[in-house]
């Protein structure tokens, strides 16, 4: 019966192939020599299949190759931060983010008398902490903002002849972007939060002024994020299920 099945399948496949490659005539049937038995050679020992894999993790042994020594005297006090920012471009790990924040703090101490640079560094610290806490859940714009703020700061540092007004303008631009990002993040959270509220039928939070909301959001950040994730998953599953039902209905029509 198995052989019969084989033959039927083979016939079907061959006729399909004939349709597809039709104007080629099949040469007079060459010897059907193939039989599954035949003295097999001594089979080689089954070779153990591939070694256990190492799925890609950003948390590898290969972190920043530079060793970071605080308060290291160097020609360019920003050379360490340069290296760290470059390595963030390649990989974001706890270790790298910690180095980033430590280095920012070190530079803050060094530049405590320079208000402008201090404020730039303050921005870096805020963004760095956000990315460090949220990692994969960070808003994609946060990395862009980090690079942009860094680039702005470097412009100021590399142009001592730049008028103060222009320097302040650069800083203001970065501060504005930071505020906009914060709004985006909060908007995302409060949307999810109100979703949560309606699901659990508790009163929605009164929208106080921005800084108050910021403080509140930061306090319950972790719990909120978890709730957001759960809700997202539920909504997605529901939508997927609805889509499927719809498809089934359409195909039955």
Footprint of other proteins (CB under 8 A): 2, 5-6, 9-10, 12-14, 16-21, 24, 26-27, 30-36, 38-41, 43-44, 46-47, 49-60, 62, 87-92, 135-136, 138, 140, 143-144, 147, 232-233, 236-237, 240
Pick the closer one to other proteins by CB: 16 or 179.
16
Taking the complex as a whole, how short is the minimal distance between the CB of residue 45 and other proteins, in angstroms? 9
Angle, alpha carbons 59-184-235 (nearest 5°): 75
Taking the complex as a whole, how short is the minimal distance between the CB of residue 189 and other proteins, in angstroms? 16
Spatial separation of the C-alpha atoms in residues 6 and 11, rounded to whole Å: 8
State in Å, rounded, how far the first CA of the chain is from the last one: 38
Pick the closer one to other proteins by CB: 119 or 127.
127
Pick the closer one to other proteins by CB: 46 or 160.
46
Taking the complex as a whole, how short is the minimal distance between the CB of residue 126 and other proteins, in angstroms? 17
Taking the complex as a whole, how short is the minimal distance between the CB of residue 77 and other proteins, in angstroms? 24
Residues 6 or more apart whose CB falls under 8 angstroms from that of 207 comprise: 213
Residues 6 or more apart whose CB falls under 8 angstroms from that of 232 comprise: 192
Taking the complex as a whole, how short is the minimal distance between the CB of residue 225 and other proteins, in angstroms? 13
Pick the closer one to other proteins by CB: 44 or 163.
44
Pick the closer one to other proteins by CB: 39 or 161.
39
DSSP designation for 22: T
Spatial separation of the C-alpha atoms in residues 101 and 132, rounded to whole Å: 9
Pick the closer one to other proteins by CB: 61 or 75.
61
Taking the complex as a whole, how short is the minimal distance between the CB of residue 38 and other proteins, in angstroms? 6
List the beta strands (DSSP E) in 24-140.
none
Spatial separation of the C-alpha atoms in residues 78 and 11, rounded to whole Å: 74
CB-CB contact of 69 with 83 (8 Å): no
Residues 6 or more apart whose CB falls under 8 angstroms from that of 123 comprise: 149, 174, 175, 178
């Amino acid at each position: 019966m198995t052989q019969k099945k084989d033959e039927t399948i083979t016939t079907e496949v061959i006729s399909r192939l004939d349709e597809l490659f039709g104007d080629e005539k099949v040469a007079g049937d060459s010897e059907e020599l193939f039989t599954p038995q035949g003295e097999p050679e001594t089979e080689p020992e089954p070779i153990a299949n591939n070694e256990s894999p190492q799925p890609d993790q950003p948390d590898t042994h290969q972190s920043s190759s530079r060793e970071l020594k605080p308060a290291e005297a160097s020609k360019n006090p920003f050379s360490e931060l340069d290296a760290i920012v470059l390595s963030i471009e390649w990989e974001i790990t706890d270790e790298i983010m910690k180095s980033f924040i430590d280095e920012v703090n070190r530079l803050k101490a060094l530049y405590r008398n320079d208000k402008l640079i201090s404020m730039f560094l303050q921005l870096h610290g805020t963004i760095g902490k956000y990315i460090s806490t949220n990692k994969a859940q960070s808003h994609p714009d946060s990395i862009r903002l980090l690079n942009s703020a860094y680039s702005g700061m470097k412009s100021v540092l590399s142009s001592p002849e730049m008028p103060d007004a222009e320097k302040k303008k650069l800083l203001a631009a970065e501060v504005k972007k930071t505020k906009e990002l914060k709004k985006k993040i909060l908007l995302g959270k409060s949307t999810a939060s109100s979703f949560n509220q309606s699901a659990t039928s508790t009163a929605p939070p009164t929208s106080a002024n921005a800084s108050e909301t910021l403080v509140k959001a930061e306090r319950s950040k972790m719990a909120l994020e978890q709730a957001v994730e759960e809700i997202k998953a539920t909504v997605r599953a529901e939508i997927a299920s609805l889509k499927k039902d719809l498809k089934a209905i359409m195909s039955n029509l």
